[in-house]
Structure 1
Amino acid sequence: MKLLRVGPPGAERPVALGQDGTAYDLSGVTADIDGGFLAGLADGGLAGLAARVAAGRLPVAEIGGRRIGPPVAGPGKVVGIGLNYRDHAAEAGAPIPDEPVIFLKPSSTVVGPYDEVLVPRGGEKTDYEAELAVVIGRTARYLPDRAAAAGAIAGYTIANDVTERAFQFERGGQWDKGKSAETFTPLGPWLVTADEVADPQRLPLRLWVNGELRQDGSTGRMIFPVLELVRYASQFMVLEPGDVIVTGTPAGVTLGRPGTPYLTPGDIVEIEIDGLGRQRQVLGKA
């Protein structure tokens, strides 16, 4: 099932898409697509809701021309994974990590898939990163294995892990400084529930800047697969329903393309992952 949120920021309404593309209003089922709703789906509510959508037993929603918000409301945290593709580590001049590299992004970075992305004040090297995002559906702490990790996943969506490289590498401190500006995590357009993603390690992903293909990879090239990332992260923090893990980016970022200009206001970034849809952002300035 595909879940999305439609409407102006802070007033989005929950919607489900049927197999034929019909949009159904979920306002009578839940106030929002948030951690509580996702936990309910994980605890047995998914099959019932999917049956109601399949049978058309919900009000039809008119979504044409309306803003699409991030598919999950107010995630408690966004967990970033760095250097998780060998080709990206190579282009960044970094060694292959022995364990997943973790950083955190504040929830204030999360915007919709078509919302404006802002180059931050003082930013000089704003970069894109096409990524598969995992949305958590069950509280997860000290997961024992990958099978348990699979049971904690509500679904998948697309993320752009926007990064200001000058802040990340030239201003001291941790990576978080370059990852945390407002609008730096566009998510969506949909949350595709985990039952509809047969294998998260077989998803091609692509990114274009102003129509030029910059990234063309596959989640099959991850160093640490999705289930291991969820299991591993749960050893260091409690993952709550609605939390998001962005799982790393393949080669092709501006950082790895000498002579390629970084993003500036007016640039257009588009990302596509097979089965998860497509997002598009126009760059502005904070």
Structure 2
Amino acid sequence: MKLASIRQASRVALIVELPDGGAALLEDLYRAAALGEAPASLQALIERGDAEVVRLRAALPLHASRLPLVALESVDWLAPQPRTGKILGIAVNNRNLNRVAFREPTHPMIFMKSSTSLTGHQKPIEILQDHGYTIPEPELCAVLGKGGKNIAEKDALSCVFGYTITNDITASGVKFSMDSVALNIGAQNMRPHHTVWREKHGPDDGFLYFTYHTRSKASDTFSPMGPWLTLAADVPDPNKLAVRSWVNGELYTEDSTANYLFPLQRCIAEASRFLTLEAGDIIHFGTAGAGTEKFPMGNRSVNLFEMDGATVDVEFEGLGRLSNVVKRI
């Protein structure tokens, strides 16, 4: 079952994909099936729990043929979960990228994005002059149905409500200009943990390097997401999904979530050690990394800053296709 959030007039509405194609308003299904008041948002549906999904699954095939259709070609798409509490991303979680790592990460590396970075299918990705070199990062997302603290890996996937697609737009230009700094604190002040992740350049190396990802990752429109959210039970193995991405119709990466360095359950469990996860939170698990003949470095070969008007597409096996247009502002 697939669900999506759209804007209809001045309100947010949920739609459901129909078994034979097309889509209908979720509230029309609730009305036809006498299920009571429909949830007003994906968050509201999540908070009703697993029993509500069971009711929906049972009702949809019985009533789908007589539901009014939604004209998908003119829909105002939102991110499937437009009002999440937090968005967590996993950095450099791909074996292709880690081939050049000085030391391969031993734990998932986690960053946060703002909910205001969210935008929907067919919406523009807005790139400022200050953003500079900007790349797409096609990634799998999980929307949590259950939260918790210290979630065990064996239980982690049972916390997922559904899966969707994101393009984790990253402005390397602003990251390595406005948001990075190198400090020389002196070799005498260095501690072992300062260089455990990198090569130490001789006994006089006293440099510390800091990079902060907020503007480069969480600027407005830098989290296009959707269009659909596929319920978790309909994704047999999220750790084995093919992903392909195009810019202006040219394939620039073809990869699989099987190439993640850390599988989804490890990432969810690790995040819950440090942050209390909540129902409705979003986690995305790392970019596709494999390149193509024309784009040998994959997504790193694509500079959206120089591609005003370009169309960027991301397709995940079984989940659908997310499409957005680059807009320099």
TM norm. shorter chain > 0.5: yes
The residue that corresponds to 2:136 in the other structure is 128
Matched, 1:160 2:167: yes
Distance 2:234 2:25 in 1: 20
Matched, 1:178 2:220: no
* SS in structure 2 of the partner of residue 183 of structure 1: coil
Cα–Cα, structure 1 residues 154 and 258, in superposed 2: closer, same or farther, change >3 Å?
closer
What value does the CA root-mean-square deviation take over the aligned residues?
Answer: 2.2
Distance 1:77 1:258 in 2: 25
The residue that corresponds to 2:311 in the other structure is 268
* SS in structure 2 of the partner of residue 247 of structure 1: strand
Q: How does 1:170-249 map to 2 (within 5 A)?
A: 170-171=177-178, 172=180, 173-249=211-287
The residue that corresponds to 1:100 in the other structure is 108
Higher Rg of the two aligned structures: 2
Q: How big is each residue's C-alpha offset from its partner over 1:242-275, in whole Å with a ceiling of 9 and x where there is no partner?
A: 1110100121588946994511311111110010
Matched, 1:149 2:156: yes
Output the TM-score relative to the length of structure 1.
0.91
The residue that corresponds to 2:196 in the other structure is none
The residue that corresponds to 1:55 in the other structure is 62
The residue that corresponds to 2:11 in the other structure is 11
Distance 2:77 2:274 in 1: 33
Bigger mean CA offset, 24-33 vs 204-213: 24-33
Output the TM-score relative to the length of structure 2.
0.80
Q: How big is each residue's C-alpha offset from its partner over 1:109-145, in whole Å with a ceiling of 9 and x where there is no partner?
A: 11002110011241211110000001111122111x2
Cα–Cα, structure 1 residues 77 and 94, in superposed 2: closer, same or farther, change >3 Å?
farther
Bigger mean CA offset, 115-124 vs 275-284: 115-124
Structure 2: gaps (5+ residues): 28-36, 181-210
Distance 1:213 1:166 in 2: 24
Cα–Cα, structure 1 residues 258 and 242, in superposed 2: closer, same or farther, change >3 Å?
closer
Distance 1:72 1:128 in 2: 21
The residue that corresponds to 1:84 in the other structure is 93
* SS in structure 2 of the partner of residue 234 of structure 1: helix
The residue that corresponds to 1:114 in the other structure is 122
Bigger mean CA offset, 225-234 vs 59-68: 59-68
Residues 5 and 14 in structure 1, CA contact (< 8 A), matched pair in contact too: yes
* SS in structure 1 of the partner of residue 324 of structure 2: strand
Distance 1:149 1:228 in 2: 8
Q: How big is each residue's C-alpha offset from its partner over 1:138-168, in whole Å with a ceiling of 9 and x where there is no partner?
A: 122111x223212210010001000000122
Cα–Cα, structure 1 residues 257 and 197, in superposed 2: closer, same or farther, change >3 Å?
closer
Count of residue correspondences? 282
* SS in structure 2 of the partner of residue 239 of structure 1: coil
How many percent identity over aligned positions? 29
Bigger mean CA offset, 116-125 vs 103-112: 116-125
Distance 1:261 1:238 in 2: 35
* SS in structure 2 of the partner of residue 56 of structure 1: helix
Bigger mean CA offset, 127-136 vs 56-65: 56-65
* SS in structure 2 of the partner of residue 38 of structure 1: helix
Q: How big is each residue's C-alpha offset from its partner over 1:198-222, in whole Å with a ceiling of 9 and x where there is no partner?
A: 0001100011111111110000111
Cα–Cα, structure 1 residues 128 and 258, in superposed 2: closer, same or farther, change >3 Å?
closer
Cα–Cα, structure 1 residues 16 and 122, in superposed 2: closer, same or farther, change >3 Å?
same
Runs (4+) off by over 6 Å: none
